[in-house]
Amino acid sequence: MSKLIKKVALIGGGVIGGGWAARFLLNGIDVNVYDPSDSAERSLNEMLSNARGAYSKLTMAPLLKPGKLVFFDSLEKAVQDVEFVQESAPERLELKRSIINQIDRYAPEIPLICSSTSGLKPSDLQAEMQHPERFMVGHPFNPVYLLPLVEICGGEKTSCKQSNSR
C-alpha cells in the first residue's frame, strides 16, 4: 500500500502554480503557497473560482471535499510539514536553481521536489542541490486542473530507487 499525499507546497502561484493549486485542492489535498507577488493571492483565488466551475462540469459524481489553501509569506514556512513540493517560478535557470536550492535547504525531509519547466534540463536545475537525488521535472499539460497529464523527467543525479511499503 502506498502512502497518499495529503499536503503539498507550491512555490509560485501564477498560471501554472495556480493550476497546480486547483488540481490538488479539488482532489482533497491541502496546499501551502508561497509567491512573492503582491497580486498572487487575488489572482490564484480567481483562477480557483474558474477551475471549480469547469471541474464540476467534468463529472456527474459528487466532488471531493476540497483541500485547505494557505498562503505563506516565506518559502521556508511554506515547505514545512509537506510531503511534496512543486516549483513553478518563471522560466529562468538562475532563478529556478536558487528557489530549488532554498526548498532543498528548508525542507530536508521531503521525498520529492519537482519543477514545472518546459525548456530547462533537470540536471542543470539540480546541479547545486544538497540532495539532488529527489529532484525531477514535473511539467503539467494545460489547463492543469482539467488535464491529469504530467511530463516527468529526472536528471543525472535523480535516484531511481522505489520504496516498497508492504
pLDDT digits (tens, 9 = 90+) for 72-126: 999 999 999 999 999 999 999 999 999 999 999 999 787 799 999 999 999 999 9
pLDDT of residue 133: 94
Q: Decide if 78 is inside a domain.
A: yes
pLDDT at 2: 60
Is it true that the peptide bond before 143 is cis, omega within 30 degrees of 0? yes
Is there a domain that residue 166 lies in?
Answer: no
Residue 164 lies in a domain: no
Q: What pLDDT is attached to residue 81?
A: 92
Number of structural domains the chain divides into: 1
Residues 30, 117, 52: CA angle, nearest 5 degrees: 35
Domain presence at residue 159: no
Range of 111's domain?
7-154
Does residue 80 form part of some domain?
yes
pLDDT value, residue 104: 96
Asked if residue 26 belongs to a domain, the reply is yes
Q: How far is CA 27 from CA 62, 99, 119, 143, 166, in A?
A: 11, 26, 28, 15, 25
In a domain, 27, yes or no: yes
Taking only the tens place, the pLDDT of each residue in 29-87 is 999 999 999 999 999 999 999 888 888 788 777 888 999 999 999 999 999 999 999 99
Q: Specify the pTM.
A: 0.91
Residues 6+ away with beta carbon under 8 Å from 72: 32, 33, 34, 78
Does residue 15 fall inside a structural domain?
Answer: yes
Model confidence band, residue 161 (pLDDT cutoffs 50, 70, 90): low
Question: How far is Cα 21 from Cα 31, in angstroms, rounded to an integer?
Answer: 7
Q: What's the CATH number where 133 sits?
A: 3.40.50.720
Parallel/antiparallel/unpaired status of strands 150-154 and 135-140: antiparallel
Give the confidence band of 1 by pLDDT, cuts at 50, 70, 90: very low
Report pLDDT for 56. Answer: 78
Confidence check: pLDDT of 150 > 70: yes
CA 157/CA 136 separation, integer angstroms:
10
Angstrom distances, CA of residue 84 to CA of 34, 42, 49, 69: 14, 24, 24, 15
